Amino acid sequence: MSLKEEVDLLRRIPLFANIEASKLKLLAFTSERVAFEGGQVLFRQGDMGDAAYIIIEGEAEVLVDGPAGPVTVAVLGRDAFVGEIAILCDVPRTATVRARQRLVCLRIAKELFLRLINEFPQMAVAVMRELALRLEASNQKLRAAVAEIEALRRPAQRA
């Protein structure tokens, strides 16, 4: 993939849509292109974050540890951005991300990503918006799960 193609790829990511081309070229040039085979792990829940990833091709699954083992909570494909929470919040990874098939990504180092956030307020706003959307989606799933648990308890309480 050429530098121009990588810049075009970055421009498709909402986070980077409003960043000037010269900065996107710098980001593409300083990012590392990495490949994973199906089943390989990009990072594990609990690890400290050192980079975020943009999926160029393939699919990855997001797994969260549960009482009965890992639970798939999402499947990500082309143009997805993953791993930014741990580097933004300086907390351990909130999930494990594993390649479902051959996966090619751009790996953006923590320092570079944080520098971009500082230089481009519109990028910081886009990050907040994306995180808020993810939180709302998680809240909807949680509400549905709680409602389902309550529905299952009701017949047991009547007996």
pLDDT tens track for 131-144: 888 788 888 988 98
The two three-digit tokens of residue 69, written as one number: 């083992």
Residues 15-37 have a mean pLDDT of 84
The two three-digit tokens of residue 8, written as one number: 């075009």
Position 44 scores a pLDDT of 96
Position 88 scores a pLDDT of 83
Instruction: Give the percent of the chain with pLDDT over 90.
Output: 39
Longest dimension (CA), the chain: 68
Does residue 46 have a pLDDT over 60? yes
E strand spans, 1-100: 32-36, 41-43, 51-57, 60-66, 69-76, 81-82, 96-99
Could you tell me the pLDDT band of residue 8, with boundaries at 50, 70 and 90? confident
Residues 98-120 have a mean pLDDT of 90
Residues 15-24 have a mean pLDDT of 78
Query: Facing residues of 108 across strands?
Result: 52
Does residue 15 have a pLDDT over 90? no
The structural domains of the chain, ordered by start, are 3-158 (2.60.120.10)
